[in-house]
Amino acid sequence: MSATARAQPNIALIKYWGNRNDAMRLPEADSTAMTLDSPSVTVTAEHSEILNVRSFGEDGKEKILTEKDTARFGKHIDLMKNYFLHLNAEEALPCSLSLTIRSGIPSAVGIASSSAVFAAVARAVAGLVEDIIPLTDTQVSILARLGSGSAARSIFSGFAALRAGGGSRIDASFGQQIADVDHWLLHDVIIAPSTAEKKVGSTEGHALAHTSPFFEARLAAIRMRRLKECVEAILRKDFELLQRVSEEDCMDMHKVMETSTPALHYLSEETHRIVSEIKDLRQKEHVPVLYTMDAGPTVHLFCPDEGYLKVLAYARKQEEKGCRVFDARAGEGAKLVRTKKPITV
Ligand code: PMV
C-alpha cells in the first residue's frame, strides 16, 4: 500500500525559535504563520523493512541526500513510531518507510522547504495508516512537528499556530488553525537574494537559542503580548498591526540568533538593502507591505491586494540583480492526493 500527499510551506509571522526539548521538538513559545499556495512538495510513503528515501528536486533530477538528511528521516520515523505507541496503535507503523519526495522548492533558500516536506510526510503517513487508526488534523500536525516544528502549521490552510503546550509529553505541542484561507487573501512576494545553502540549519539553530542573553526577554514578549496581537491582527484583518508585530518579532528573532554562541548570521547585505528599500516604498508611496525573514537571507513581502502590484513590480526589478522571485499567496494545508491499496482476491 502507498499514500501520496501534497503540502506547501508556511511562513511564520511570530517566529518559532528555541525548544524546551530539542529531541522531541517541543517549542518554548507559540508561533503563527501563513500557509502558502505554492511551491509544493509531494511525498509518497510506503511501508518498508528498511528506511529508503529518494528525493527529486524542482528540475525533476534525483538529489543525492547526505547521511545527515537521511538520518533526519530515520529519526522522524522513530518519533512517529513512539507517537503511535502513545496512541496504542503500535501496529500502524511496524517497520520503516520508503519515501519518495518530489519537491518544487529550491532547498535552503528560505522558503521553509522542511515545513512542506514534513507536513507532506505526515499527511502521507496518516493516509497509510488510516484503516488502523484514523487521525485528526491535530494528530497529523503532531506527526509533522516531530520532523520539523514549523511543519505542524502547514497541515492547516490559511493561518495557523504552533501551540507550545506544556510538559514533556510527545503530544504536548500541536498545530491549530487560526483562520481559513478565504478569511484574508494576503500575498507573499518572495525575494531570494542568494541560493547558497545555509550554513547552520534550524534544527541546530534552535539548540543555540538559550545561549543568547536576549532569549528570555523574547519569550516573555511573545507570551505576554506579541502572540495575542498577531492573532488579533489576523482575525480583524488589521494589516498595520500585523506589520508592526511581525516585523518586531522577526528582527527580535534575528537579534537572538546573532547574539547566540556561536552567533548565527542569516541576513545578508542584500537582505538589508531590500528591507530598507521596502521601508522607503512604504513611506513614500503608502504601499501596505511587511517584510519577514526566516533562517536565511530571503525576504518575504506580505501584502494585501492593494499593495500587491507595486510590491511585485519592485520584486521583478530585483531579478535583474540576480535575485530569484516567487509569487505566492495564502493557500491550502497538506492534502492526501491518493492512496493505493493492494488488490486482494
Ligand atoms: O521547523 P524548523 O525546525 O525548520 O524551524 C523553523 C524556524 C524558522 O523558520 C526560522 C521560524 C519559523 O517559525 O518557521
CA nearest to 223, candidates 21, 20, 11, 34? 20
Which of 8, 10, 11, 15 to mutate for ligand 1's pocket (most ligand atoms within 8 Å of CB)? 15
Ligand 1 centre to CA of 267 (Å) is 15
- Which residue's CA is the closest to the ligand 1 atom numbered 6? 150
CA of 115 to the centre of ligand 1 (A): 8
The low-confidence residues of the chain, meaning pLDDT below 50, are none
pLDDT of residue 110: 65
Instruction: Give residue 141's Cα distance to chain centre.
Output: 12
SS3 245: helix
pLDDT at 341 (0 to 100): 83
Q: Which atom of ligand 1 is nearest to the CA of 115?
A: 1
**Residues ≥6 apart with Cβ < 8 Å to 18:** 27, 28, 29, 206, 209, 210, 215, 219, 256
- Ligand 1 site, CB within 6 A: 12, 15-17, 31, 112, 114-115, 148-150, 202-203, 206, 294-295
For ligand 1, the distance from its centroid to the CA atom of residue 344, given in whole angstroms, is 43
For residue range 296-318, what is the model confidence (pLDDT) as tens digits?
999 999 999 999 999 999 999 99
Per DSSP, the chain holds a count of helices (H) and strands (E) of: 9, 16
Mutational pocket test of ligand 1: of 10, 16, 250, the residue with most ligand atoms within 8 Å of the beta carbon: 16
Q: How far is the CA of 149 from the centre of ligand 1 (A)?
A: 7
CB contact at 8 A, 108 and 148: no
**Atom 9 (ligand 1): residue with closest C-alpha?**
294
pLDDT value of position 139: 98
Please report the atom of ligand 1 found closest to the CA of residue 149.
1
Closest atom of ligand 1 relative to the 10 alpha carbon: 14
SS3 129: coil
Cα-to-centroid distance, 5 and ligand 1 (Å): 21
Residue 270 has what pLDDT?
A: 95
Determine the atom of ligand 1 nearest the C-alpha atom of 15: 13
Ligand 1: which of 24, 121, 173, 202 to mutate, most ligand atoms within 8 Å of CB? 202
How many angstroms is it from 272 CA to the middle of ligand 1?
Answer: 20
CB-CB contact of 16 with 150 (8 Å): yes
| Atom from ligand 1 closest to the CA of residue 295 | 10
pLDDT for 261 equals 97
Position 196 scores a pLDDT of: 67
**Rounded CA separation 265/190 (Å):** 20
What average pLDDT is seen over the chain? 95
Eight-state DSSP code of residue 166:
S
pLDDT, residue 342, reads 80
Report the atom number in ligand 1 closest to the C-alpha of 253.
Answer: 10
pLDDT at 144: 98
